[in-house]
Chains A and B, each alone.
Chain A
Amino acid sequence: MNRSLTQPTNLALGLVLILLIALPFFAPNYYVQFASKAMLMGMLALSLNLVVGFGGLVSLCHAAFFGLAGYMLGFQSPESAGASLWLSLPVALLVVAAVAAVIGTLSLRTRGIYFIMVTLAFGEMLFYFFHDTKIGGGSDGLYIYFKPEIALFGQTLIDLDNSRSFYLLVLASLVMTAGLIRGLVNSPFGHALQAARDNERRALSLGFPVFRLRLMAFILSAMIAGLAGYFSAAQFGFVAPQMLGWHLSATVLVMVVLGGMSSILGPIVGAFALIGLEEVLKSAFEHWKLIKGLIIIALVFALPGGLQQLTRLVLPKSEGPHTGKDSDNQPVEADHAANLGSLSDPMTGLIQPPMTSANAKGLQHV
């Protein structure tokens, strides 16, 4: 596993986890629900980062997978009872995986700007599909009157109507997905994925099936986004086309960058930070979106490494809440290196313009 994960970080992570487990037992219900919502956004950001941070592919259609799974729960929920989670969750995830396989196969034929535009377009296709047709209630959306049931032999195991149980289930899912992604990133699969991000040509010439690796990462990440969407739909009891819209995809991208893309847990921190910030702005200003926009612009210029960069500025030697490879974690130096190294490719010795090199290098040092 990861050797850079030092003792104090482990301790801090453990403390945070204990606090999160304890939260529903002392915090008011409003905060428990708010934290559930933030954790689901964290799960969505986590899934997106597998593609963006470790795959170097800027996808703008993850909200579509998120919303699609929500709609799948809606379709499977009867009017008068909850759907069985054992059946409805796998069905939702399989549908998302199938759609992601088609979208991924088509979009991964393209690179760079094209990939961004194509994923955005396919994501919006799903948005308009639910917006324009009557299948999911059109622009009005769909109500889910009863939360999914988790039962065994007629015995309810976890009652999702209880916001505390719901919170704990979401927390458990989040911890499991984070563990899954951490395992993936540190596996041979993850290493190959990152190799393809850093230098596609080299990875190809070393014999890595780059397309298949990326497609697998894309589908997996879509399924995790779907898991978050499923729970999100269950939490609010309502799905609407806006859940699939690209504004959500872009917002989640902001969370990923804010939290730091080179780490596994960073996106979760980013999600909490952005959602918390939105909540504060909403209560303080009428035109809070203007301020949100300005903050995003400031983030791009002043803090391209996200909050991690901030902690590094304040405490030069401190370990942020990240578990990623530390050698890749210095955006400022990495930027210089990219500028210097971008003119020639070490493998071929060919001089190439910085743009193509930036594409091939991926986005590790935003």
Chain B
Amino acid sequence: MDAITIAVQLLNGVQYGLVLFLVASGLTLVFGILGVINLAHGAFYMLGAYLAWWIASYTGSFALALLGALSISFVLGLLLEEVFVKRMIGRDHLAQVLLSFGLILVIDEARQILFGKDVHSVTPPEWLNGSIQLTAILSYPVYRLALCLVCILLAALIFYVIQRTRLGMIIRAGAENRNMTRALGIPFDTVNRFVFAGGIALAALGGMLVAPISTVFPGMGDGMLILSFVVVVLGGIGSVTGAALGALMIGLTDTFGKVFFPQVSSILIYVLMAGVLLWRPNGLMGKAP
């Protein structure tokens, strides 16, 4: 194993971690601010990928696919918040688990009706479709690099919004103390709605961005849901910094696990989670309840 291979794997791990962060940050924000556990998060990741494939196959444009799928997911998020999730705030977790499980079944079946259950692939735009030659035999796809860049920009945007804007201040205050924030006259219900829709959109965006480098298949949401859960458990509920940390840890552990311990690679991230639970049961960045 030479330095170049390790560098390529490192890049893969970071890229994987960045996508995980995108999806998990949406999940952790919805947990932290609405106090709602959303098992259907992975289903939106899958839906985003299918929407992108569907729009791309009609228009032939990846940019249009991104834009269209993103808008559809955001509007869907707003609608779901208004109809279902709003009524789940403050109810116990069991009701939230059941509601989101019901949503998964509905979304899965709707996807089956609309798009079928075939496996698809999405072609990235022409100018991102090449590879960079690293050595005589090794090359790295440009799209993966672009993906890293987009994820880093999005992560920076998320951090900027949360740390530096008034909306972010409200979000942080809401995560800290929901009732107090509401008592201060903040239009919290509107904030809730946009946070939920934003979280859904982030999950869907993760699915769209990954579509060109993996395949689009029905079960893709389930795996992502579990991984995002592990990320949130590692990082601590409601902490976007924690989600970033957890996502990079999982991305690197999984990538290098597959290289060095292919036999047990699928177990490694859970061992990592178990270790963190023993050390800090509320996650790396989580506060004690």
Could you tell me which A residues sit within 8 Å of B by CB distance? Answer: 52, 58, 60, 106-107, 109-114, 116-118, 120-122, 124-125, 128-129, 131-133, 246, 250-251, 253-254, 257, 287, 289-290, 292-297, 299-301, 304, 353-356, 358-359, 363, 366
Contacts and interface: CB of A to CB of B under 8 A. Distances in A.
B54 interface: no
A366 B92 contact: yes
B278 A254 contact: no
A292 B108 CA distance: 12
Interface in B246-283: 263, 266-267, 270, 273-274, 277-278, 281-283
A231 to B, nearest CB: 25
A358 to B, nearest CB: 5
B93 A58 contact: yes
A interface, by DSSP: helix, strand, loop or mixed? helix
Contacts, number: 136
A120 B263 CA distance: 22
B128 interface: no
Contacts of A358: 90-92
Contacts of A251: 101
Given A58-B94, A114-B282, A297 B270 contact: no
A113 B102 contact: no
Contacts of A257: 94, 98
Nearest to B106: A293
Q: From A114, A132, A297, A353, name the one whose CB has the most chain B CB atoms within 10 angstroms.
A: A114
A10 B277 CA distance: 46
Contacts of B106: 290, 293-294, 297
A28 to B, nearest CB: 31
A113 B230 contact: no
Contacts of A122: 270
A200 B102 CA distance: 30
Contacts of A58: 93-94, 97
Interface string B89-117: 01111110111011111101110110000
Nearest to A113: B37
Contacts of B273: 118, 121
Nearest to B88: A300
A359 B104 CA distance: 24
Contact of B277 (A109, A128, A353): A109
Contacts of B281: 109-110, 114
Nearest to A122: B270
A153 to B, nearest CB: 43
A293 B109 contact: yes
B interface, by DSSP: helix, strand, loop or mixed? helix
Given A109-B281, A250-B39, A366-B94, A117 B101 contact: no
A250 B112 contact: no
Contacts of B113: 287, 290
Contact of A250 (B101, B178, B282): B101
Contacts of A106: 274, 277-278
A58 B93 CA distance: 8
B281 to A, nearest CB: 4
Contacts of B109: 287, 289-290, 293
A257 B112 CA distance: 28
Contacts of A363: 92-94
Nearest to A131: B266
B84 interface: yes
A113 B113 CA distance: 32
B157 interface: no
Q: From B98, B109, B177, B282, name the one whose CB has the most chain A CB atoms within 10 angstroms.
A: B98
B229 interface: yes
B232 A117 contact: yes
Nearest to B230: A121
B185 interface: no
B75 to A, nearest CB: 19
Nearest to B31: A113
Given A112-B289, A128-B266, A293 B104 contact: yes
B59 interface: no
B135 interface: no
A5 B282 CA distance: 42
B223 to A, nearest CB: 9
Contacts of B274: 106
A253 B100 CA distance: 12
B233 interface: yes
Contacts of A287: 109, 112-113
A354 B179 contact: yes
Nearest to A304: B95
Contacts of B230: 117, 121
A297 B84 contact: yes
A110 B283 CA distance: 10
Nearest to B177: A353
A39 B138 CA distance: 57
Nearest to B35: A355
Contact of A253 (B92, B97, B237, B289): B97
B226 interface: yes
A293 B102 contact: yes
Contacts of A120: 226, 229
Given A121-B229, A363-B93, A356 B105 contact: no
27 contacts: A58-B93, A111-B289, A114-B281, A114-B283, A117-B233, A120-B226, A120-B229, A121-B270, A121-B273, A124-B226, A125-B270, A129-B267, A133-B266, A246-B226, A250-B97, A253-B97, A292-B105, A293-B105, A295-B102, A296-B101, A300-B102, A301-B87, A355-B90, A355-B178, A358-B91, A363-B93, A366-B95
Nearest to B271: A125
Q: From A117, A122, A251, A287, name the one whose CB has the most chain B CB atoms within 10 angstroms.
A: A117
A99 to B, nearest CB: 13
B93 A356 contact: no
Nearest to B105: A293
A280 B94 CA distance: 26
Contact of B95 (A112, A295, A300): A300
